[in-house]
C-alpha cells in the first residue's frame, strides 16, 4: 500500500534505480572531547551514514525519490576511554507533502542516553535476532522507528511491522543493562517510546498519524478548511489520550515535532476552528508561547 500511494503522489520519472529506504545525514559534534585524533569523528559520520543508508530494512523496493530523508545529530559529551563515547542524539525524519515542495517532519526525538563503542575501520555488525553492539542496536532501533512513522503516515497503522521490529531490538538489548533500554529508566527513553507505539491504549495516536498526514496535509492545497477540521479532530483525539497519559513520550514528541507546523496550519481559516485548536494546544502544551499566533491574526 505504501508503495502504491507513493507512486500516485510523485509525478516525475520512475526510472530511478531501486535502492535502500533511508537517506540519512549523520553529523557528529565532538567539541567537548579532548583528543588529538579528530579524524575519528569524521570516520563516525561516514560509517554511521553508511550503516543506515546502505542496509535493507524492509522487503519493499524504494526508488531514489521515495527514500526517507533524515538526520542523526550526535553531540558527543565524553570519551571515558579510547573507543568509548557518551553522547546526546537528535533524530529527525521527514516526508514530502503531496503537490508541494514542503517536507513535513515525522519525527523529532531527543535521546540523551547514547553510550557506544567505536573503533575506526571495524565493521558495524547487526542482526535483527540478537544484540551485537549498543551502537548498531540504537541505530537499527531508530531506523525501524522512522520507517514505522513513515508507513503510518501513508496507511492507517501501516507501520506496525516496523514498530514490532523496534520492540525486538529493545528486548534483545535489555540484558546489556545499557542506558535507554530499561522499563524502569527515564519515561523519555527508547523503551518508553516503543512502549507507547505498541500500547493498545494509545493506538489512536498512531491512527492520528495517518489522518494528519494523508487525509489533512496531503489534501491541504485543495481543501484547506476541511484539512484544518481533520487536524482539529486529531488534536481532540490527542487530548483524550493525554488525559490518561499526560507524560507519555509519544505525546511530548508530537508537539516537539509539530508545534510550529500546527501554528502555520491554524494561522488562517475559520476563527472558531482556530480558537478551538488554540484552546486544546494551550491546555496540553502550555509551555510554548507560539500558539498565541493562532488567534492573534
Regions of the chain short of the pLDDT cut 50: 3-17
Name the phi and psi angles at 78, rounded to 5: -145, 150
Same domain, 106 and 221: no
Count: domains in the chain: 2
What are the distances in angstroms from CA 176 to CA 139, 142, 147, 167? 16, 18, 25, 15
Task: Give the chain's end-to-end CA distance (angstroms, integer).
Answer: 40
How many alpha carbons lie under 13 Å from residue 92 in its C-beta half-sphere? 15
Domain ranges, residue 106: 1-159
> Has residue 183 been placed in a domain?
no
Same domain, 145 and 283: no
94 contacts 103 by C-beta, under 8 angstroms: yes
Helix H or strand E segment including 236: helix 224-244
Nearest Cα neighbor of 280 from 297, 269, 254, 109 is: 254
Same domain, 137 and 214: no
Domain final residue, candidates 159, 182, 214: 159
Same domain, 125 and 227: no
Same domain, 24 and 144: yes
Same domain, 54 and 145: yes
Same domain, 22 and 145: yes
CA quadruple 146, 149, 154, 157: dihedral sign: positive
Same domain, 234 and 291: yes
- Rounded Cα distance between 265 and 223, Å, is 12
Same domain, 119 and 228: no
> Has residue 61 been placed in a domain?
yes
> Has residue 31 been placed in a domain?
yes
Query: What contacts 293, CB < 8 A, 6 or more positions away?
Result: 263, 267
> Has residue 216 been placed in a domain?
yes
Same domain, 211 and 279: yes
> Has residue 217 been placed in a domain?
yes
pLDDT of residue 8: 42
Same domain, 122 and 215: no
Same domain, 114 and 230: no
Domain final residue, candidates 128, 159, 190: 159
> Has residue 115 been placed in a domain?
yes
- Rounded Cα distance between 152 and 107, Å, is 12
285 contacts 240 by C-beta, under 8 angstroms: no
Q: pTM of the prediction?
A: 0.92
Domain final residue, candidates 105, 129, 159: 159
> Has residue 184 been placed in a domain?
no
151 contacts 137 by C-beta, under 8 angstroms: no
> Has residue 18 been placed in a domain?
yes
Amino acid at each position: 500500500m505504501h508503495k502504491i500511494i507513493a507512486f500516485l503522489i510523485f509525478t516525475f520519472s520512475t526510472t530511478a534505480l531501486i535502492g535502500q529506504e533511508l537517506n540519512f545525514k549523520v553529523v557528529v559534534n565532538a567539541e567537548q572531547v579532548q583528543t588529538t585524533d579528530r579524524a575519528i569523528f569524521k570516520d563516525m559520520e561516514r560509517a554511521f551514514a553508511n550503516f543506515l543508508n546502505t542496509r535493507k530494512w524492509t522487503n519493499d523496493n524504494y526508488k531514489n525519490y521515495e527514500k526517507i530523508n533524515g538526520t542523526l545529530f550526535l553531540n558527543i559529551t565524553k570519551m571515558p576511554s579510547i573507543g568509548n563515547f557518551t553522547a546526546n542524539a537528535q533524530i529527525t525524519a521527514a516526508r514530502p507533502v503531496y503537490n508541494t515542495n514542503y517536507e513535513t517532519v515525522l519525527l523529532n526525538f531527543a535521546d540523551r542516553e547514547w553510550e557506544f563503542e567505536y573503533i575506526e575501520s571495524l565493521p558495524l555488525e547487526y542482526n535483527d535476532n540478537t544484540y551485537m553492539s549498543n551502537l548498531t542496536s540504537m541505530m537499527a532501533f531508530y531506523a525501524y522507528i522512522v520507517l514505522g512513522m513513515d508507513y503510518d503516515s501513508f496507511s492507517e497503522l501501516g507501520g506496525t511491522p516496523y514498530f514490532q521490529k523496534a520492540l525486538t531490538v529493545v528486548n534483545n538489548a535489555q540484558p546489556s543493562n545499557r542506558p535507554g533500554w530499561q522499563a524502569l529508566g527515564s519515561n523519555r527513553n527508547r523503551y518508553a517510546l516503543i512502549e507507547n507505539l505498541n500500547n493498545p491504549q494509545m493506538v489512536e495516536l498512531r491512527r492520528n498519524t495517518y489522518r494528519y498526514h494523508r487525509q489533512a496535509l496531503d489534501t491541504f492545497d485543495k481543501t484547506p478548511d476541511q484539512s484544518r477540521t481533520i487536524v482539529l479532530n486529531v488534536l481532540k483525539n490527542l487530548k483524550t489520550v493525554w488525559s490518561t497519559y499526560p507524560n507519555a513520550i509519544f505525546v511530548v514528541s508530537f508537539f516537539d515535532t509539530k508545534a510550529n507546523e500546527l501554528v502555520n496550519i491554524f494561522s488562517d481559516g475559520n476563527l472558531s476552528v482556530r480558537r478551538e485548536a488554540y484552546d486544546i494546544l494551550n491546555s496540553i502544551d502550555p509551555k510554548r508561547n507560539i500558539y498565541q499566533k493562532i488567534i492573534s491574526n
